[in-house]
Amino acid sequence: MTIGDKQLWLCSCNGTMPLDAAALARNGIVPEGGIKTMLCQKELGAFASLAHGDAIVACTQEARLLGDIAEEAGKTQTIQFVNIRENAGWSADAKSATPKIAALLSLASMPEPDPVPRVAYTSNGQILIIGPLDRALFWA
């Protein structure tokens, strides 16, 4: 299945993250073939044969391996890797982290923002420091 217009691959990292598939599905987040447990190991073949188009992979630790496999298969155009494990799944609040995981995955499905234009200026040796007084005085 997809999130946005991208194929989603989600893994529980050998069951070490409590991922709530039903709650994610209620938010329109349905991973390809369900939640995997060992995407970088025994389920690597499924990834190699089924990954296509633009994909989001919820793993950064094995990004190199999964990227190489996708490149060899030649069906994937772009892959974005998202770190849900360290950012939500392996936290003290992991059992209630589903909304944060959904937000991280949804954010990954959004297009990259347009670049901010560069602004050039000459300070003539003067700068303006804005912020709380104690911090502004420190930097001044």
What is the structure's pLDDT at 4?
67
- Output the 3-class SS for 44-90: HHHHHHHCCEEEEECCCCCHHHHHHHHHHHCCEEEEEECCHHHHHHC
DSSP state of 17: S
In this prediction, the residues of the chain whose per-residue pLDDT falls under 50 are 1
Beta bridge partner(s), residue 11 = 36
Token pair 């892959």 is found at 79
Number of CB atoms found within 10 A of residue 59's CB? 20
What is the structure's pLDDT at 1?
43
Domain ranges of the chain: 2-109
CA quadruple 49, 69, 35, 95: dihedral, nearest 10: 180
Residues 6+ positions from 28 with CB-CB distance below 8 Å? 3
What's the rounded Cα separation, in Å, for the pair 13 and 124? 54
pTM above 0.75, yes or no: no
Token pair 């409590």 is found at 18
What's the rounded Cα separation, in Å, for the pair 31 and 2? 7
What is the structure's pLDDT at 112?
79
Kindly state the tokens that stand for 15: 């069951």
